[in-house]
Chains A and B, each alone.
Chain A
Amino acid sequence: MALILFYITSAVAVFATTMMITRLNAVHGLLYLILSLLAVGVLFFLLGAHFAAVLEVIIYAGAIMVLFVFVIMMLNQGQETIEQERAWLEPGIWVGPSLLALILLIEMLVIVVSGGDAETGYIVSAKQVGIVLYGPYLLAVELASILLLAGLVGAYHVAKPILNAANSGRKS
């Protein structure tokens, strides 16, 4: 049964990614990208990497996608935004992603109902990951934190002129 679930999820992931790179509108592409990330999250679960599956949903499909939505919304200012959003939310647009999400939901329900024996491969628990992460890989964790700090400083530096322009515009 796990094999069938694996192939269905793979098909969903490939289909969603193909739809993503062929959408003309960035918001429509974003919907399919979220579906692609969720499908890969289900794949992680099927492969026994529960911790990675949770992180995939929380950070990739949650935090990073919120950043994308935020920037897309920032780039569309003005009066036509409301009409544009209405056009984006036409029924034909969200039916496709909803169907794909429904497929993934049914798969998760099947896994839960069947008692959790749907995973194949070795289950690597979060405890094992944590022990190794803060043991041999401690230096990599420090390097990752430095990378995040550099990203933070870089993003602030790049976006600072925009912040300054917004502040001066508010004062005048």
Chain B
Amino acid sequence: MNGIPMEHGLLLSAVLFVLGLIGVLVRRNLIMILMSMEVMFNATGLAFIVAGSRWGQADGQIMFLLILTLAAAEVGVGLGLVLQVFRRFQTLDADSLNQMKG
């Protein structure tokens, strides 16, 4: 019935999440950071889907739907902020934002 071991699915989810985390920590381009965050959201959704498939419940897909909503809202605001940063500093380097007025 359940051919795919749940541990392997969760392991894949963890690997994808760590890859996204490495992307957020290592890359300094703001767009690449946002893209890595998408990978992290996606890995979280994969973990929910794996769990939902394991127990045959619809809750996993519903949590994925909510994560999808969160990712859409985050990308909308995040890309707006990226446009503002580029307009003010003429660069997408995240390290150029180290001087903020509180």
Interface residues on chain B, number (Cβ under 8 Å): 61
Decide if A48 is an interface residue (CB 8 Å cutoff). yes
What separation, in Å, do the CA atoms of A101 and B14 have in the docked complex?
23
What separation, in Å, do the CA atoms of A63 and B38 have in the docked complex?
13
Min CB gap A10→B, angstroms: 5
Main DSSP-derived SS at the B contact region = helix
Decide if A52 is an interface residue (CB 8 Å cutoff). yes
Interface string of A95-122 (1 = CB under 8 A from B): 0000000000000000000000000111
CB-based contact B58/A63 at 8 Å: no
Closest to B64 in A: A52
Chain B residues with a Cβ under 8 A of chain A: 1-4, 8-9, 12, 15-16, 19-20, 22-23, 26-27, 29, 31-32, 34-36, 38-39, 42, 45-46, 49-50, 52-62, 64-66, 68-77, 79-84, 86-87, 92
A-B contacts, 27 listed (Cβ < 8 Å): A2-B4, A3-B4, A13-B12, A13-B16, A20-B23, A21-B23, A21-B32, A26-B35, A43-B12, A47-B50, A48-B53, A52-B49, A63-B72, A67-B76, A67-B79, A68-B31, A75-B86, A121-B3, A121-B56, A124-B61, A132-B62, A137-B62, A147-B69, A150-B73, A154-B80, A158-B80, A161-B87
